[in-house]
Amino acid sequence: MIAKPAALTSAHSFFGSNDMPRHPFLVVLTLITGLILQAGSFASESREITWDDLVPPEAEFDDPFTLLDEDQLYELSLVVEIRVRLESGKNVDEETLAEHEQRLADLAEQEVDVDGLIAMHEDVVKERIAKTFMTNPDLNGRTVRMPGYLLPLEFDGERVTDFFLVPWVGACIHTPPPPPNQIVHVTTDEGFANTGSLYTPVWVDGLLKTEQLQSNLNFVDGAADIPSAYVIDASSVKPYE
């Protein structure tokens, strides 16, 4: 025998028992009530997500510079540096010019299209920046649970009430900031007693929304406005275990 969902059972008890005939309207209302109650329970469940979930598929694009290794990128940057010096009329000694020509020959042998990459660099950078602000619309308005590292922004006494959730230790301070769609601005009314280091691994539960913000982050040697593409109104912030 299949057990009735609790919502339908309670509604059935209210409108009548099996021994009593019920009006069709009451039957329909009972079913609707059960569906509403079940939908509400699904909506309140947290969906555990990862940082990869925040990046929509359309944010990926063919970036030709990602096909180069670190040495090739470095050599290409030196080529650009010498070209800029030459175009600005600055003096370049013979030894440096010889190294420059050899560098071009080496890159050509590795099938690196130096002229093509330099020509498209500005457009690639613009597209790369635009893609970092793209968010996953399927997560907007969802109750989620996700892990990350807490980077405090504001305090209420000793409790953190406003912070960045970032995917790796050192983000925004010891390393360049992650893309905006990899930074979540979190607010919590309860606050979080951060008894650990500057970066504390935590689990955050709450309502996730896609919203672009600029938040001022203070450093030891200054401050900077850091963009983020997501916000969470946290219902719970707990140490990562």
Walk me through the domains of the chain, giving residue ranges and CATH numbers. 6-44 (no CATH), 59-132 (no CATH), 137-239 (2.40.50.870)
63: pLDDT strictly greater than 50: yes
**C-beta of residue 156 within 8 angstroms of C-beta of residue 194:** no
User: 46-55, 166-175, 202-211: lowest mean pLDDT where?
Assistant: 166-175
Among 147, 154, 127, 144, CA closest to 200 = 147
CA distance 187 to 204: 10
Question: What residues are paired with 171 via a beta bridge?
Answer: 175
- Please report which residue ranges of 110-166 form alpha helices under DSSP H: 114-132
- Please report which residue ranges of 88-216 form alpha helices under DSSP H: 94-109, 114-132
pLDDT band at 241; cut points 50, 70, 90: confident
Mean residue pLDDT of the chain comes to 83
39: pLDDT strictly greater than 50: no
Please list, in sequence order, all residues whose beta carbon lies within 8 angstroms of the beta carbon of residue 31, skipping any fewer than 6 positions away.
8
Question: What residues are paired with 226 via a beta bridge?
Answer: 215
Q: How far, CA to CA in Å, does 233 sit from each of 57, 202, 229?
A: 25, 15, 14
User: 4-13, 112-121, 219-228, 230-239: lowest mean pLDDT where?
Assistant: 4-13
Q: How far apart are the first and last CA of the chain?
A: 41
**C-beta of residue 202 within 8 angstroms of C-beta of residue 147:** yes
**C-beta of residue 183 within 8 angstroms of C-beta of residue 51:** no
How does pLDDT run across 142-158, given as a tens digit for each residue? 999 999 999 999 999 88
